[in-house]
């Protein structure tokens, strides 16, 4: 694939994201910032279009025409006070006094009553549509905002997720994305609780450095990454709506990891959309584009969304996506299953 892409310099530069190697414009979290024209172009997966025009053929299980990679970053298991207050006030506005009290007083009933202890409910929802997903958990000790949770407290939940056939992956720490020893430590810690090796990774806050982060993840033993997306918009960051092996321009070699690029993150989607209807129209267009190109569209919906009364539109949209893609006969599955299929296909 790489040799084919090298035949078209513009396509090659887009695929490798050459401009990200020596960035001059970063946001407050050290992430690459795109200008408006680049964000507009991200709605068209030009590299995937080029590859298909050159004869690339894609197959999925049971002759599905495209795939939806469903993922959840488990940033929080216990809602911060601000979230509890917002949910409680929202319930009061809707005259839902019982839930209003529940959001405020859940701590007195025990941590297992946290509204963000909702992983089983998310799996039950997806199972109705014959879907599976990936849950990426934090195992870092430090966070720039607040204490998140001890991964050791989640042993039962991790076991339930794995036993049901959903995936557990690592949500790399905020300060770890460019630190191989830190990522290795987090990987080992999560694997000890889970009881088996991890395949997948996504970094907290989508912090990522091209191509160094890929090299680090490959070196510590991850098989795929799904961090590579837009933190302030939606779309195809390097023109790909298919999984791919990254290429290191500095070392002139393929990187031994599969990237399943992130296309839509809930927070970014509702930040750039002025309404639920606009968010749905944007999502629908990206799904339809992916379907036409026999691609893989990766979605990130944080688990906290499903426990927030003030994020009901976000949940409603996720359900609508499941319904829409189910109606199209999409393969809706987790990152590890996408990885295994793509590797066997290759």
pLDDT tens digits, 157-207: 999 999 999 999 999 999 999 999 999 999 999 999 999 999 999 999 999
Neighbours of 191 (CB within 10 A): 16
Q: Which of residues 91, 115, 139 is at a domain's end? A: 115
pTM of the model: 0.93
Residue 183's domain is classified under what CATH number? 3.20.20.370
Domain boundary among 93, 115, 137: 115
Residue with the two structure tokens 């930040």:
271
If residue 68 lies in a helix (H) or strand (E), which one and from where to where?
strand 67-74
- Sign of the Cα torsion 233, 183, 26, 212 reads negative
In-domain check, residue 193: yes
Q: For residues 307 and 267, state if they share a domain.
A: yes
pLDDT in tens, 90-147: 645 665 545 554 655 556 566 776 778 899 999 999 999 999 999 999 999 899 988 8
For all residues of the chain together, what is the average pLDDT?
91
Which of 282, 311, 318 minimizes the C-alpha distance to 115? 311
pLDDT in tens, 212-249: 999 999 999 999 999 999 999 999 999 999 999 999 99
pLDDT at 84 (0 to 100): 57
Residue with tokens 């009364």: 309
Mark whether 106 and 216 lie in a shared domain.
no
Are 47 and 151 members of one domain?
Answer: yes
Residues 101 and 193 in one domain: no
Q: Is the pLDDT score of 8 beyond 80? A: yes
What average pLDDT does this structure show over 76-101? Answer: 61
For 104, the domain range is 83-115
**Cα→Cα distances 58→69, 293, 333, Å:** 16, 9, 17
- Token reading at 78: 């216990």
Domain end call among 115, 135, 169? 115
Whether residues 42 and 132 share a domain: the answer is yes
The percentage of the chain sitting over the pLDDT mark of 70, rounded to a whole number, equals: 90
């Amino acid at each position: 694939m790489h040799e084919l892409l090298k035949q078209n310099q513009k396509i090659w530069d887009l695929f490798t994201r050459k401009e990200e190697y020596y960035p001059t414009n970063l946001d407050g979290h050290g992430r690459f910032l795109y200008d408006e024209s680049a964000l507009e172009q991200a709605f068209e997966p030009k590299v995937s279009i080029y590859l298909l025009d050159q004869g690339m053929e894609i197959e999925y299980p049971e002759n599905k025409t495209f795939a939806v990679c469903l993922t959840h970053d488990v940033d929080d298991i216990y809602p911060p006070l601000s979230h509890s207050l917002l949910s409680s006030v929202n319930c009061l506005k809707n005259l839902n006094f019982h839930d209003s009290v529940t959001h405020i007083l859940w701590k007195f009933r025990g941590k297992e009553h946290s509204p963000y202890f909702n992983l089983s409910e998310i799996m039950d929802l997806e199972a109705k549509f014959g879907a599976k997903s990936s849950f990426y958990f934090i195992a870092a000790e430090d966070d720039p905002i607040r204490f998140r949770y001890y991964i050791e407290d989640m042993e039962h939940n991790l076991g339930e997720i794995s036993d049901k056939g959903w995936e557990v992956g690592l949500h790399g720490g905020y300060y770890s994305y460019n630190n191989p020893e830190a990522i290795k430590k987090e990987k080992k810690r999560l694997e000890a609780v889970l009881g088996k090796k991890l395949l997948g990774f996504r970094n907290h806050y989508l912090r990522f450095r091209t191509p160094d982060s890929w090299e680090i993840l490959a070196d510590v033993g991850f098989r795929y990454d799904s961090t590579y997306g837009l933190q302030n918009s939606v779309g195809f960051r390097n023109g790909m709506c298919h999984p791919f092996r990254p290429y290191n321009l500095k070392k002139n070699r393929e990187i031994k990891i599969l990237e399943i690029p992130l296309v839509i993150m809930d927070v970014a989607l509702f930040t750039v959309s002025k309404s639920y209807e606009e968010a749905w129209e944007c999502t629908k267009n990206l799904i339809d584009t992916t379907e036409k190109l026999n691609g893989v569209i990766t979605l990130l919906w944080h688990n906290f969304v499903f426990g927030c009364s003030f994020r009901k539109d976000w949940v409603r949209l996720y359900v609508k996506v499941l319904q829409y893609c189910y109606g199209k006969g999409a393969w809706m599955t987790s990152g590890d299953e996408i990885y295994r299929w793509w590797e066997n296909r290759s």
